[in-house]
Amino acid sequence: MPKFFSVLLFVLISISLFAQELPVISGKGESQLTYKGDAVVLYDQTSAPGTNSLASQNFEASFDIYDCQGADDFVVPAPGWSIDLVENLGVYWNGTGPATSVNVWFLSNSGSLPGAILESRLNVVPTGGLSTGSFVIPISPAVNLAPGTYWISIQANLDFGVGGQYGWTEHNQFNYT
């Protein structure tokens, strides 16, 4: 069973509408609108990067006891989201990476903590950011979420002996007005 740590992390989710021609307004961050499934940013925590990182890594077998994950919650407004891209700010240390791939989980909310796994995309090769640790992750097939609170976890597949360690960049508290 994966280990989860509840902290505020950087995640940017790009979505498309559920085959409707209605606009969707973001639940957090920069509010944007979309029509007819054009991808837009509806959840953004990349506005106030911190200086620390939280480990979220799947190590090689000899270091499996150190495998760890970070998770972040987000709210999906009506009519729902179809997530097809996730961007995640992160960094390598004790080495320069790069990760070979990432694991992405979408989880239910369970009393303000990550709950059951609803969807997973394992061993996804990011389309950008492998050299820096700030990943652009295609989600295929898209993950469809009804209105509600969910959690996302992104874990780098990275051997410590080859590339070091990986973590999500922490988010400084920021008030959106």
* Per-residue pLDDT, 169: 81
From 89, 66, 80, select the one nearest 118 (Cα to Cα).
Answer: 80
pLDDT for residue 48: 61
pLDDT at 74: 86
CA distance 53 to 70: 10
For residue 151 the two structure tokens come to 């959690």
The stretches in the chain having pLDDT less than 70 are 1-50, 171-177
Alpha-carbon span 29 to 47, nearest angstrom: 8
Instruction: Please tell me the predicted confidence (pLDDT) of residue 73.
Output: 85
Span 56-93, pLDDT tens digits: 999 999 999 999 998 888 889 999 988 888 888 889 99
pLDDT at 38: 53
pLDDT at residue 59, as a whole number: 95
Phi/psi at 62 (5° precision): -70, -15
Write down the pLDDT at residue 53.
Answer: 78
Quote the CA–CA distance of 8 and 87 in Å, as a whole number.
15
